């Protein structure tokens, strides 16, 4: 139930984010896309500080610092940053075969491999116990999260690009056009939490969600420059119905297979393979940075397109 509420709040925030981001970028300044987070994050911090009651054992500071997997933390963070920077720079600010891109990707992958070696052989209290990967069902839950996030995020990137570059929408309207998917996604996310609470079943939701997501994103292939609004809304609605259930269901599936003492460990690999966007959104956090990233990438594509059009035949 609580996961459904959290997922619904996150889905609501993510649906408002592109609209607010487009509004700020078009009407005020892109810097406000970051400024707006400060008051909301401050309110969330105060609420958590005074009202979140977690009973934890009292551990001395020195012992607590010794128990932290520092090597694992640094190698995971460093490796992921290098890998993502390499993928971000490739084909945009640097060619894919440039030394910068190749070094970032190769050394990022090597450092991530070093992280798993540390978790296996060195860390006394590993950040990610590797025995979590020993069960086939755990791997299935993690794979579901990976492919779910992979498809969902790609759609969130290319739909605004389609709305602005193909249909000629403004940044604000591009965010508004995403609302059909966001609304259905939010409703299904909340419904998933209620359904699991009432029935205790999560596999049917995973199957249903992946099937509908495949159908919805497959229908996006049919979108072109002359697509009707009915088609755009219906296709997004189907995709949203498919995306929504798999925000929480794979997490519940993984937790049902992990001992209670390892619940926190079980969520770590799940977050790293893409459980949508880290279920810590207890308060409404406007994800307006996504609007900035989309608009910046769209402007780059439009600039490149304009350069090609200006080339004389």
Flag whether 287 is in a domain.
yes
Q: Is the domain of 18 the same as that of 79?
A: no
Rounded distance between C-alpha atoms, residue 181 and residue 239, angstroms: 7
- The parent domain of residue 168 ranges over 2-48+134-310
Per DSSP, the three-state class of 134 is coil
Q: Are 88 and 235 members of one domain?
A: no
Helix axes 2-27, 289-310, angle to 10 degrees: 50
Q: Which pLDDT score, from 0 to 100, does residue 276 have? A: 37
Question: Do 143 and 120 sit in the same domain of this protein?
Answer: no
- Regarding whether 99 and 235 lie in a shared domain, the answer is no
Residue 183 lies in a domain: yes
Task: Tell which of 124, 145, 165 closes a domain.
Answer: 124
Domain annotation covers residue 16: yes
Contact residues for 199 (Cβ-Cβ < 8 A; gap 6+)? none
Question: What is the per-residue pLDDT across 87-125, written as a single tens digit (0 to 9) for each?
Answer: 989 888 889 999 999 999 999 999 999 999 998 888 888
**Within a domain: residue 170?**
yes
User: What is the residue whose two structure tokens read 């990137």?
Assistant: 157
Mean pLDDT, residues 236-241 taken together: 92
- Asked if 275 and 145 touch (Cβ cutoff 8 Å), the reply is yes
pLDDT at residue number 287: 42
Residues 29 and 119 in one domain: no
Domain shared by 107 and 229, yes or no: no
Please state, in angstroms and rounded to a whole number, the distance separating the CA atoms of residues 264 and 179. 33
* Same domain for 255 and 212: yes
Last residue of a domain, one of 100, 124, 148: 124
- The rounded mean pLDDT for the chain is 79
Q: Are 163 and 295 in contact (CB under 8 A)?
A: no
Question: Over the stretch 14-32, which tens digit does the pLDDT of each residue have?
Answer: 667 777 777 787 788 878 8
135: pLDDT confidence band, cut at 50, 70 and 90? confident
53-57, 87-91, 235-239: range with lowest mean pLDDT: 53-57
Domain assignment of residue 63, yes or no? no
Task: Examine the domain organization and report whether 214 and 284 are in the same domain.
Answer: yes
Position 96 in a domain: yes
Q: What is the pLDDT of residues 275-287, one digit of tens each?
A: 334 433 323 333 4
pLDDT band at 289 (very low <50, low <70, confident <90, very high): very low
Confidence class for position 34, pLDDT limits 50, 70, 90: confident
Instruction: Determine the pLDDT at residue 219.
Output: 94
What does the pLDDT read at residue 19?
75
Q: Count of alpha carbons within 13 Å of 191, Cβ hemisphere only?
A: 17
Same domain, 241 and 120: no
How large a percentage of the chain has pLDDT more than 70? 79
Q: Indicate if 184 and 297 belong to the same structural domain.
A: yes
Last residue of a domain, one of 78, 99, 124: 124
pLDDT digits (tens, 9 = 90+) for 153-195: 888 888 888 988 888 888 778 878 888 888 888 888 888 888 8
Domain count, the chain: 2
> Would the CA dihedral through 217, 223, 228, 229 be positive or negative?
positive
Name the more confident of 305 and 225: 225
Query: At residue 48, what are phi and psi to the nearest 5 degrees?
Result: -65, -40
Residues 239 and 149 grouped into a single domain? yes
Q: Which residues are 90's β-sheet partners?
A: 94
140 and 117 within one domain: no
Q: What does the alpha-carbon distance between residue 1 and residue 191 come to, in Å, rounded to a whole number?
A: 9
Q: Is residue 294 part of a domain?
A: yes
Tell me whether residue 200 is exposed, middle or buried, using C-beta atoms within 10 angstroms of its C-beta: 0 to 12, 13 to 18, 19 or more.
Answer: exposed
pLDDT at 279: 35
């Amino acid at each position: 139930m609580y996961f459904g509420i959290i997922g619904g709040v996150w889905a609501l925030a993510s649906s408002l984010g592109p609209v607010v981001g487009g509004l700020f970028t078009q009407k005020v300044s892109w810097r406000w896309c970051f400024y707006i987070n400060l008051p909301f994050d401050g309110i969330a911090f105060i609420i958590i500080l005074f009202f979140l009651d977690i009973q934890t054992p009292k551990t001395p500071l020195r012992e607590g610092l010794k128990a932290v997997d520092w090597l694992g933390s640094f190698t995971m963070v460093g490796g992921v940053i290098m890998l993502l920077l390499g993928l971000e720079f490739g084909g945009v600010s640097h060619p894919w075969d440039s030394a910068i891109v190749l070094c970032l990707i190769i050394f990022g992958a090597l450092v991530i491999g070093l992280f798993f070696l540390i978790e296996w052989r060195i860390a006394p209290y590993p950040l990610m116990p590797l025995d979590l990967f020993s069960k086939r069902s755990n791997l299935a839950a993690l794979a579901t999260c990976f492919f779910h996030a992979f498809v969902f995020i790609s759609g969130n990137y290319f739909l605004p690009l389609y709305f602005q570059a193909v249909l000629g929408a403004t940044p604000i309207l591009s965010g508004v056009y995403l609302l059909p998917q966001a609304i259905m996604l939010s409703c299904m996310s909340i419904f998933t939490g209620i359904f699991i609470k009432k029935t205790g079943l999560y596999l049917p939701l995973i199957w249903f969600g992946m099937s509908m997501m495949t159908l919805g994103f497959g229908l996006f292939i049919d979108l072109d420059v002359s697509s009707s609004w009915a088609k755009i809304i219906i296709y997004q609605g189907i995709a949203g119905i498919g995306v929504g259930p798999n925000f929480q269901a794979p997490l519940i599936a993984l937790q049902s297979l992990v001992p209670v003492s390892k619940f926190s460990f079980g969520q770590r690999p799940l977050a790293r393979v893409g459980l949508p966007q880290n279920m810590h959104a207890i308060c409404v956090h406007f994800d307006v940075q996504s609007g900035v990233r989309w608009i910046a990438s769209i402007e780059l594509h439009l600039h490149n397109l304009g350069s090609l059009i200006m080339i004389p035949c």
